[in-house]
A and B are shown apart, each in its own frame.
Chain A
Amino acid sequence: DVKVTQSSRYLVKRTGEKVFLECVQDMDHENMFWYRQDPGLGLRLIYFSYDVKMKEKGDIPEGYSVSREKKERFSLILESASTNQTSMYLCASSFGRAGNTIYFGEGSWLTVV
């Protein structure tokens, strides 16, 4: 079975802190994604990566950056956390080009106080 693992399930951070959310997949997938999910807004794409050291902005990249140094790992970075970044963050991965099933991690609930 495909496994997408997010390092932290629940986090509480202070405003202004630098926050790292880590994601690892074990199926040698080329594509990895970070989404955020908010009530009434569904899932919105923050960043995605289709290869090591490659990254593309999604719909809401402001306030975030990403890193993909190894194929299996995709990190989301909040340089200076703000309260409006309180949300659930979902990592996902998929194989090859468009048209393949996407697999999600369990989600990371981030609260910024």
Chain B
Amino acid sequence: GIQVEQSPPDLILQEGANSTLRCNFSDSVNNLQWFHQNPWGQLINLFYIPSGTKQNGRLSATTVATERYSLLYISSSQTTDSGVYFCAVDGYSGAGSYQLTFGKGTKL
């Protein structure tokens, strides 16, 4: 199956700093999503971004599908950004499939 690798595994930031999280995947995808899991365990969808660039406030994401990676940018970080960030992909199967494969996350 498709492999998803995230880096770095851990990240410590001063409040106000910027950061970039990376997600590499091993095959073509038709669905890529970024999630934030808060310290209480709730997973929130941040972006659905199989290709291109999207922005939402201080967060933005870029996926370069041809090179099989996605980046999540966090600007002017705040304490509420703490948690774990997951990338999840759904490999292309022609007819589409129902399940996402998750990376192991970046703990911020």
**A interface list, Cβ under 8 A from B:** 31, 33, 35, 40-45, 48, 50, 56, 58, 88, 90, 92, 94, 97-104, 106-107, 109
Contact = CB atoms under 8 A, between A and B. Distances in A.
Contact of A48 (B33, B45, B99): B99
Interface in B48-80: 48, 50
A25 B103 CA distance: 25
Contact of B50 (A44, A99, A106): A99
B98 A48 contact: yes
Nearest to B100: A102
B103 A99 contact: no
Interface in B79-99: 86, 88, 90, 93, 96-99
A98 B41 contact: no
B50 A31 contact: no
Interface residues on B, range: 20 to 34
A42 B90 contact: no
A101 B96 CA distance: 14
Contact of B104 (A35, A40, A104): A40
A29 to B, nearest CB: 11
B41 A106 contact: yes
Given A103-B45, A104-B43, A106-B42, A98 B30 contact: yes
Nearest to B103: A42
A56 B90 contact: no
B7 interface: no
B54 to A, nearest CB: 13
Contact of A43 (B30, B96, B102): B102
Contact of A99 (B90, B99, B101, B105): B90
